[in-house]
Chains A and B, each alone.
Chain A
Amino acid sequence: MRDRAGKSLRLEEWARRDSILHRRDARGKILAAVVFLIGVSTTPPSSPFAFLPVAVVLACGLLIGRLPAGEILLRGLVIVPFPLFFGLVSWLENGNAGFASALVTRSYISALTVLLLMGVTPLPDLLRGLRGLGVPAVLVMVLQSLVRYLQLIVDHAMRMRRAASCRDAGVFPRRSRQSLWRRASGALAVLFGRSYLRAQGVHRAMVARGFQGDFVSPRPATFAAADWLFLAVVSTAVVLARIAGSVRT
């Protein structure tokens, strides 16, 4: 978990930097990422170089966003086992190497795209952007409070684990599996209760400050000309890359 927390911290740090991409409206960046992902998803594996054009577009994004390319390329690798497994399985079954390697390439490029999006967009802005694109207010508020209380609850779980391992150090040299189960489920139940009470406290604080059941969300900023231009440029680049990628050589 510490590893995971570190990962999201790294994203936060990148997102606080400044570049042309950082300054774009979050809605535009989300749409651009989706357009790009659709481009990747529809590129047929007609040649080993089919994905080169979209990769070039992506590389431009990383460069313009002033993100550490090496680190992002490395981080994107976390998703490779999944497509690699199913690619290999599929290849062994029907001998179609092109399809198998397309799975891996597409997944990897798609993961890098999400990293690029998150690297140039702070999470709170991104969630507001989702609201602006029509995601229901309830879902966005749930996302916001999930993000807000995630670290708090995880820290709590960690403290409980530490306390538990201190308590029985050396006392039960051979703990039975049953007692371990009982302890783990008891700990989760306590954590469930703590979370429940935390939610009650939060709700109480919201009500005390005038919340009456309906959320008011700030009106999103206007979608500036520069944001339209950005979206148009990305879309054009994707279409061109997509055409270039499907030329069979």
Chain B
Amino acid sequence: MSIPVIDVRGLQFTYPDGTPALRGVDFQMMAGECVALLGANGSGKTTFLLHLAGLLRGEGDVRICGLPLSDDTLPEVRRSVGFVFQDSDDQLFMPTVLEDVAFGPMHQGVRVEESMRRAREILVTLGISRLESRAPYHLSAGEKKRAALAGVLVMKPDVLVFDEPTTFLDPPAQNELAKLLLELPQAKLIATHDIYFARRVANRAVFFAGGQIAGEGPVEAVADRFHWRLD
């Protein structure tokens, strides 16, 4: 039996203002899996995802590829977990796409020239090398999402974490993203409201309610059980 890429046990978290956000979450995910995270707004999906990259620290045990999350392992965990945020504008903060993609490796001690080379390579792989010297502000939502993904993939992560990836995308761009995700070999955890997108890319779904996992199983079954679809 191989080690799960994500292994979370008894995770609890309360915001400083006293609002409980996670009340004992147990979750495992294996390499190659693609899991959809469903649930209402405020059910704790985003809070849960933030714990995986050590951006929030609650009580409980979080292991990424067997590595327990602690101050010492934080840099390695953050390399291993590629976090794609809901708003690409938060993520693309450098003046040009190339510099943005190279930001990750550069700040992990990779030499500047090597970081740039890796960044160019990823842009070619994702088919957006034409955007290299463009400013993020002028990109379309789909291009932004791809550029943000490039900035994450360049760190060679073991697991990709997406927070509402389809929010700002039009249907063709959603389609492109789904195709791209199906091609990527990494394990993927996707928090989304878009049940059609989830059905297309994920092979399993987990349903969050009140800061806990209320149920899991095949996407269709979970959606039926929680009446999680448009009529």
Residues in A lying within 8 Å of B, measured CB to CB: 123-124, 127, 144-145, 147-149, 151-152, 198, 201-202, 204-212, 215-216, 218-219
Contact = CB atoms under 8 A, between A and B. Distances in A.
Given A148-B93, A201-B85, 4 more contacts: A148-B94, A204-B50, A204-B85, A215-B107
Interface of A, secondary structure class, is helix
9 contacts: A123-B95, A205-B91, A205-B93, A208-B83, A210-B104, A216-B112, A218-B106, A218-B112, A219-B112
A165 B95 CA distance: 34
Nearest to A9: B138
A87 B103 CA distance: 49
A152 B89 contact: yes
B137 A152 contact: yes
Contact of A208 (B78, B95, B99, B106): B78
Interface residues of B, number: 31
A212 B93 contact: no
Contacts of A218: 99, 106, 112, 116
3 closest residue pairs by CB, A with B: A201-B90, A124-B95, A209-B104
Contacts of A198: 89-90
Contacts of B104: 209-210
A145 B93 contact: yes
A144 B94 contact: yes
Contacts, number: 74
Contacts of A215: 107
Nearest to B96: A124
Interface string B89-125: 1110111100100011011100010001000000000
Contacts of A149: 89
Given A207-B55, A209-B152, A202 B78 contact: no
A210 B107 contact: yes
A68 to B, nearest CB: 22
A209 B136 CA distance: 17
A210 B78 contact: yes
A151 B95 CA distance: 13
Contacts of A152: 89, 137
Nearest to A206: B93
B90 A202 contact: yes
A212 B95 contact: no
A209 B78 contact: yes
Contacts of A148: 93-95, 135-137
A216 B106 contact: yes
B202 to A, nearest CB: 22
Contacts of B85: 201, 204-205, 208
A62 B138 CA distance: 28
B95 A210 contact: no
A146 to B, nearest CB: 11
A236 to B, nearest CB: 33
Contacts of B90: 198, 201-202, 204-205
Of A145, A201, A205, A216, the most chain B CB neighbours within 10 A belong to A205
Contacts of A204: 50, 55, 85, 90
Contacts of A207: 55, 78
A149 B106 CA distance: 22
B95 A147 contact: yes
Contacts of B37: none
Contacts of B50: 204
B137 A216 contact: no
A84 to B, nearest CB: 36
